[in-house]
Structure 1
Amino acid sequence: MRFGANYTPSQGWFHHWLDFDLDAVRTDLDAIAALGLDHVRVFPLWPVFQPNRALIRPRAVEQLVALVDAAGERGLDVNVDGLQGHLSSFDFLPTWTQTWHRRNIFTDPDVVSAQEDYLRTLAAALADRPNFLGMTIGNEIAQFAAGPPHPDPDRITPEQAGSWLERVLAACEEGAPGLPHLHAEYDTSWYQDDQPFTPAHAARLGAMTAVHSWVFNGTAQRHGRGGPATTGHAAYLVELSKAWALDARRPVWLQEVGAPQPLIPAGHAAAFTEATVEAVLDCPDLWGVTWWCSHDVSRDLVDFPELEYSLGLLTNEGEVKPAGKSVAAFAERWRGREHAPAPRTTALVVDAGDDGLAPHRSVCAPGGPVFDAFARLAADGARPTTVLASLADDADHLAARGITEVVTVDNVA
């Protein structure tokens, strides 16, 4: 069982790559390691590392390697997100994909080839580091592919999204063979009918499934800061992902989860953290929990959405916050312990239409019939999981997952 943090540098936020200070990074990593965490997820800025389609800056790659080495010296493993992409409401795309050079980042052959070179280069530079966990393609890169909410999307079909993912994942494998490379999408892949990055992509491509749980998506608004559906949202996403997985034991990584104000007030952050993590730890095949984020964003930086300034486990000055103490306590409790919850034997049927395209996946969103039925089952102590309608009568599939009871939305009072 792994506990970690998404590393947000205390000095300069992700702009620290422009003025890279390894001593400042070491100070941040010391504070993260002092919480008892075992890994970080880090974020190179794509336009900083590859400012021209034919230029991957050697000095930037060296700085990334230095960061990974510094983390290793502190007992921290590192997952590296490559295509940044999108972070905390800001987009970071190279100029060679924008305005006068506007090209679709998923389908233009020159852009995709350059992405492959970039991801392969980062992976190869880290392949021999024992604390390198592998690559994540990018942070919630699906948000570029559909609008709304994105104001200027690079529109693609689900088939094009799948083809792109296969290519960029293969590039990571070429750079660092045998490591668990993956991609990470946010909840529109599970909840938005026309999002071209589908649940099947998330649950079938890459070494494991990543889920990002944010309760400002309507969950906390509907169910309150401490409602079981709110504190159980991360567990719901983990179990929802298993409906589309072809491997009955596919690992699921809760790669982002946080306590956003004001929906989760500061005084309630510790309670929310404890309840959320307790709920998700009852999910079989959970790889780990990685909190968003390590450090608060400095108030010296402007134009962030207000909630972004207060999501850290640590203040910008490195002081441990209540949520940080809660995550540290979980890390201490689980250090060296095997994570093996009992199988979830009750499965709720999910019918989102075609299994690959999921054209009606909004049934799974907050307020949808699948979401609400799952919440009611969980509140009744049923420990539910999910199963696709097409597999609900497949005895071999159910047995492989330990499912002994199948219920439909209409069966749940």
Structure 2
Amino acid sequence: MVDTFAAHKRTQDPSSRGPRSVRGPEEDAISTPPPVPELRFGVNYTPRRGWFHAWHDVDPDHVREDLAQIAGLGLDHIRVFHLWPLLQPNRTLVRSAAVAQLVQLVDQAAEFGLDVLVDGIQGHLSSFDFYPEWTRSWHHRNVFTDPDAVAAQATLLRALGRALTGRPNLIGLQLGNKLNNLVEHNPVTVSEVDHYLDRLLAAAREGLGDGVGLVTHSAYDAAWYGDDHPFTPEASARKGDLTTVHPWVFSGDCARRYGPRSPQVRHLAEYGTELAKAYAVDPARPVWVQETGAPEPHVPAADAPDFARATLLNAADCTQLWGVTWWCSHDVDRALADFPELEYTLGLFDSAGRPKPIAHALAETVAQLRGRRTVTARQTALVLDCTPATRAVSGPGGAFFEAWTSLRAEGARPAIVLAERAADAHWLAARGIKELIRP
């Protein structure tokens, strides 16, 4: 095993840099590998009319229209979000009518050949927090630590799982959308987060039944980059049936710091996937790029199509990638007030239902990757040595992040290995890693 930094530095033709996925010369002698499992490509579904407020009065015809547009891009799945206050307005009441709305949407998606992941507790969506009244004001309960609040969430997830079991197009049940967004108003420790996730993942699995679909959870980037954030990389990479990552270009001001066309931006989803693999105990654990998008002005509209192509192609160069789910299907209508500006422009379709240039670019790239993807293991890995208090080194602006993206821009394909794993020959061999670089 080679363990060096300087020996790996080499000169590359400038034409090899950019959004393409580039293979290093160490692979020249490797024969063409066999096809790998088919990637999944989908979109996070944001109803065109009324945004998620549409759950107050669902119109099945409007839903079908949205789903037809999504399926028309050649995508194979959606991720959907009901609102927690509508599903569980009282701690001991799960509304059967609201659950039925969710089941109906899953069945409608099947009409268009779309599979569905259901997020249970929303929770947080596009800068708005949705809490049932029994968690607020006079009845305030910490949603992560109050025993009654946690028990109620477990009850909701069991109910959703039971209602969804048997749907052949169900991918699985996720605890909720980026629940770590709620920590500001619900202080919690690392051990309390671990207990919370274990309890709710078990409830979701109990509801679905053994062997039925995936049971997952998600967190925004602070879990990976935030010093001492109570949701940890270990929790993301070791709890649930696979690891989800949400690599956003505004995290750490990445796009503004490096530029929207930079390698740091165009390889960000790939980097997030490799970082997640480093924290996994199981070398074969899948990683799902569950949210990524092109928010203006971080990624100008003119750059969005190329950004989408590069993001998909570069992420597809990772072993263990489950798939990529774009955020989001439809722009937020500007008739709705008080959203951050970027939320109005994130859709593949505008608020009138017209496909945008990024939609065409995404569809073309998905078609390019369908059934024709090959990927080899990354034989070289960069060693990440950090503590919970120095996790920011692995985020945009951090020394480790910049070392990895520098190597990638030069044409290398670096994996990532935690320092604690650097001497684990069995684990390294399972990932195909033969060379370690210590930045």
Q: TM-score category by the smaller chain? A: over 0.9
Q: Deviations over 1:24-67 (max 9, x none)?
A: 10110010011110000000100011011111111111111110
What is the DSSP-based 3-state SS (H/G/I as helix, E as strand, rest coil) of the residue aligned with 1:363?
helix
Say which of 397, 407, 413 aligns to 2:427: 397
Say which of 171, 187, 190 aligns to 1:158: 190
Percent same amino acid at aligned positions? 53
Say which of 183, 204, 208 aligns to 1:172: 204
CA distance in 1, matches of 2:363, 2:351: 18
CA distance in 2, matches of 1:338, 1:172: 35
CA distance in 1, matches of 2:372, 2:286: 14
What is the DSSP-based 3-state SS (H/G/I as helix, E as strand, rest coil) of the residue aligned with 1:360?
helix
Alignment RMSD (CA, Å): 1.0
CA distance in 2, matches of 1:204, 1:92: 27
Say which of 353, 363, 367 aligns to 1:332: 367
Counterpart check, 1:202 vs 2:236: yes
Answer whether contact 1:297 1:309 (CA < 8 A) is retained. yes
Aligned-pair CA distance for 1:76: 0.2
The residue aligned with 1:363 is 393
Answer whether contact 1:80 1:134 (CA < 8 A) is retained. yes
Answer whether contact 1:8 1:14 (CA < 8 A) is retained. yes
Answer whether contact 1:285 1:340 (CA < 8 A) is retained. no
Cα distance change on mapping 1:164 and 1:340 into 2, 3 Å? farther
Cα distance change on mapping 1:118 and 1:273 into 2, 3 Å? same
Aligned-pair CA distance for 1:331: 2.3
Aligned-pair CA distance for 1:318: 1.4
What is the DSSP-based 3-state SS (H/G/I as helix, E as strand, rest coil) of the residue aligned with 1:59?
helix
Letter in 1 for 2:64: R
Which entry has the higher C-alpha Rg, 1 or 2?
Answer: 2
CA distance in 2, matches of 1:224, 1:342: 29
Letter in 1 for 2:53: H
Letter in 2 for 1:142: N
Q: Deviations over 1:121-148 (max 9, x none)?
A: 1111011000011111111111212xxx
Say which of 114, 119, 123 aligns to 1:76: 114
Q: Deviations over 1:178-234 (max 9, x none)?
A: 221100001000001121010000000000000001111221111101000111111
Counterpart check, 1:34 vs 2:72: yes
Aligned-pair CA distance for 1:341: 1.0
Aligned-pair CA distance for 1:263: 1.5
CA distance in 2, matches of 1:404, 1:301: 53
Counterpart check, 1:306 vs 2:341: yes
The residue aligned with 1:138 is 176
Letter in 1 for 2:114: L
1:276-295 alignment, distance < 5 Å? 276-295=311-330
Structure 1 stretches of 5 or more lacking a match? none
What is the DSSP-based 3-state SS (H/G/I as helix, E as strand, rest coil) of the residue aligned with 1:26?
helix
Say which of 280, 294, 301 aligns to 1:259: 294
Counterpart check, 1:373 vs 2:403: yes
Cα distance change on mapping 1:116 and 1:387 into 2, 3 Å? same
Q: Deviations over 1:359-382 (max 9, x none)?
A: 321111111111011011101111
CA distance in 1, matches of 2:363, 2:162: 32
Cα distance change on mapping 1:137 and 1:339 into 2, 3 Å? farther
Counterpart check, 1:99 vs 2:137: yes
Letter in 2 for 1:360: T
Aligned-pair CA distance for 1:338: 6.3
What is the DSSP-based 3-state SS (H/G/I as helix, E as strand, rest coil) of the residue aligned with 2:217?
strand
CA distance in 2, matches of 1:143, 1:345: 36
Say which of 230, 236, 254 aligns to 1:219: 254
What is the DSSP-based 3-state SS (H/G/I as helix, E as strand, rest coil) of the residue aligned with 1:181?
strand
Q: Deviations over 1:150-169 (max 9, x none)?
A: 4xx21111011011101100
Counterpart check, 1:350 vs 2:380: no
CA distance in 2, matches of 1:391, 1:216: 30
Counterpart check, 1:319 vs 2:319: no
CA distance in 2, matches of 1:339, 1:254: 17
Say which of 77, 81, 98 aligns to 1:60: 98
Q: Deviations over 1:71-120 (max 9, x none)?
A: 00110000001110000000001111111111110111111110001011
What is the DSSP-based 3-state SS (H/G/I as helix, E as strand, rest coil) of the residue aligned with 2:389?
coil
Counterpart check, 1:184 vs 2:222: no
What is the DSSP-based 3-state SS (H/G/I as helix, E as strand, rest coil) of the residue aligned with 2:75?
coil
Q: Which moved more, 1:339-348 or 1:67-76?
A: 339-348
What is the DSSP-based 3-state SS (H/G/I as helix, E as strand, rest coil) of the residue aligned with 1:69?
helix
What is the DSSP-based 3-state SS (H/G/I as helix, E as strand, rest coil) of the residue aligned with 1:271?
helix
CA distance in 1, matches of 2:221, 2:373: 25
CA distance in 2, matches of 1:88, 1:183: 18
The answer to which structure, 1 or 2, has the higher relative contact order (CA under 8 A, 6+ apart) is 2
Letter in 1 for 2:192: Q
Aligned-pair CA distance for 1:334: 2.9
CA distance in 2, matches of 1:309, 1:251: 32
CA distance in 1, matches of 2:366, 2:207: 31
CA distance in 1, matches of 2:287, 2:71: 23
The residue aligned with 1:274 is 309
Aligned-pair CA distance for 1:340: 4.2
CA distance in 2, matches of 1:143, 1:351: 26
Letter in 2 for 1:374: W
